Amino acid sequence: MKNLKSYSCLLALAVLVAGCGKRSVSLFDGESFAGWEGPLDSFRIEGGAIVGGTLDDRIEKNQFLSTKATYRDFELRLTFKMIGESPNAGVQFRTKRIPDHHEVIGYQADMGGKYWGALYDEARRRKVLEGPDLETVMAKVNLNDWNEYVIRAEGPHIQLWLNGMKTVDYLEEDDSIDRSGVIAVQVHSGAPMEAWYKDIRISEL
């Protein structure tokens, strides 16, 4: 019995150590666009954050700053805020750039308006795939201040958390959709606005 207990303890420790091996890596160094690509005239770095858009003029078209590396199964964490009259933005994942075009194709963790906490399919099915009750999620949103997104994609399973509240638990049924791609941050076309992103970290699963 003593040996069995010792073995059980060692097994539990091994599982714990294996779990700790999933190291979180920063995707943004807070100082440069190293590892990122896109329309740098639409993005800047300020206060350790990536800032997209402007409060001085209308934003004529959607713009995306993306990682150069691609990711498949992962948990992504970041903090963000939006400033402006009617701001809208999002975090793209499992996404592809469209050659010679400003748009991208892929999943988006949406933010702003009636889309807070929703999973949107950008430039593909062009619709919300799943989302929370708006009144419930708005009680969790910090307007004009920092919020946190957690995005977990593992196989066909996609989950989103906004400020600790699970807003999406989605199972992709279309096996033809690629399960890998870049991570990207968006500033949406429309009224003057800024989208700020920082503390961007990923753990590959």
pLDDT tens readout for residues 96-132: 999 989 999 999 999 999 999 999 999 999 999 999 9
What's residue 160's pLDDT? 98
The counts of H helices and E strands in the chain are 2, 15
**HSE-up of residue 76 (Cα within 13 Å, Cβ side):** 30
What's residue 100's pLDDT? 86
Is 189 within 8 Å of 61 (Cβ atoms)? Answer: yes
Residue 19, in any domain of the structure: no
Position 80, amino acid: F
Residue 14, in any domain of the structure: no
Q: Is the dihedral of CA 39, 41, 46, 51 positive or negative?
A: negative
Is the pLDDT score of 8 beyond 90? no
Domain with residue 182: its CATH number is: 2.60.120.560
Residues spanned by the domain of 115: 26-204
Residue 147, in any domain of the structure: yes
Q: How many domains does the chain have?
A: 1
- Tell me the per-residue pLDDT of 47-84, one tens digit each, with 9 for 90 and over: 999 999 999 999 999 999 999 999 999 999 999 999 99
Select the more confidently predicted residue: 15 or 89.
Answer: 89
What's residue 86's pLDDT? 86
Residue 17, in any domain of the structure: no
pLDDT, averaged across the chain: 91
Residue 38, in any domain of the structure: yes
Phi then psi for 52, rounded to 5 degrees? -110, 140
Residue 5, in any domain of the structure: no
pTM: 0.88
Residue 11, in any domain of the structure: no
Share of the chain above pLDDT 70, in %: 90
Residue 92, in any domain of the structure: yes
